[in-house]
Amino acid sequence: MEIFMLLLGAALAATGVFLFGVYTVGPTERGVLTTFGRAQRLGAQLISEDPELGGLLSEAEKLRYDYPMIRVIKPGGPYFKWPWQQLIKVDMTIQTTDITWDPDITQESIESVTKDNLTVAITGQIRWRPCERNLYAYVFGVKSPQAHIMGYFISVLRDRIATFSGADANSSEQELVEFISINDLRKNVSTINQYMEQACKKTAARYGVELDAALITTIDPPNEVDEALASINTTSNNVAAEISQAKAEADQRLKMAEQAVLIAENQANAEAAPLRELFETLSQMYANGGRAALDSYLRNASLPLRKKASQTIINLNSDKV
């Protein structure tokens, strides 16, 4: 009887282990299996040896963020784990977080100081997701990955706002003359977003979080400064419009002058054309018939004029009329 109860208990225990040890991983999830709290490692490989993430870390950062590479359980199943093993499932979908989110305080915008010491309010969002190649950092390296990525993003953003100028975005000479940082920031929001996406790539190696996109939407100065900037912008736009109109009028006058010169040149060529033709005719006539032919031509050509003349002057020293 005792042996039967022992076998029955063993059978129930084996059935429980089998039932509670089988698990699956969803299509948007990844699994990390730990044994007595230790994740299954891929040998002795470290993140610094990863072909994609290793280059993102500097030598100083490798001393702090060189996490081990671990085995990641792909979606599917069923899989099996022992009772002394623990499964950690990670949601791999893209998360959207407002940049004003802070676990400790509630705020409507992020404040930052520009290059000309103007405090601006920034709003927007970031999209991020766990990095599958560095799940050790995401699961074990940081206590709150979302708080870490937000803190890192905000610090990089404030540094960028404090050093940004129109020259960074290849602005035109006219825009550089204005040199009002808030105007440069507002005109180059897309450039700042691109910079943030590039600058935050290393969060995948440091915190196991990939920044999918930075979506900064508004950069506003304080209200009293905004009114002054609006007045400056209006004046600047009016000056630019006046300059543009003056250039257009000057170009139109220059075009009219060029056309007048061209018309005068055409008229002069038209008046000179019969004289050139007559010169060619007389030259050819003189070359073929000599002085006699030329005198005969002049005598015949002068007959219509004589008919119109009221008096005729005869040179008595010559037989020519």
In this prediction, residue 178 has a pLDDT band, given cuts at 50, 70 and 90, of very low
Angstrom distance (rounded) from CA 298 to CA 292: 10
* pLDDT, position 175: 46
Cβ(97)–Cβ(150) under 8 Å? yes
Weakest mean pLDDT among 151-155, 272-276, 312-316: 312-316
Weakest mean pLDDT among 175-184, 196-205, 237-246: 175-184
Is omega for the bond preceding 51 within 30 degrees of 0, making it cis?
Answer: no
Taking only the tens place, the pLDDT of each residue in 106-137 is 888 888 888 888 888 999 999 999 999 999 99
Place of tokens 């050819």: 284
- Angle between helix axes 145-163 and 189-199 (nearest 10 degrees) is 130
* pLDDT, position 301: 81
Angstrom distance (rounded) from CA 89 to CA 135: 11
Mean pLDDT across 236-249: 92
Structure tokens at 168: 């960074």
Taking only the tens place, the pLDDT of each residue in 5-32 is 777 777 777 776 666 789 999 999 999 9
State pTM to two decimals: 0.63
Structure tokens at 118: 């103007």
Angstrom distance (rounded) from CA 83 to CA 66: 30
Residue 167 pLDDT > 80, yes or no? no
Structure tokens at 231: 């007045």
Structure tokens at 58: 């500097």
* pLDDT, position 115: 83
The CA angle 194-99-124, to the nearest 5 degrees, is 60
Residue 185 pLDDT > 80, yes or no? yes
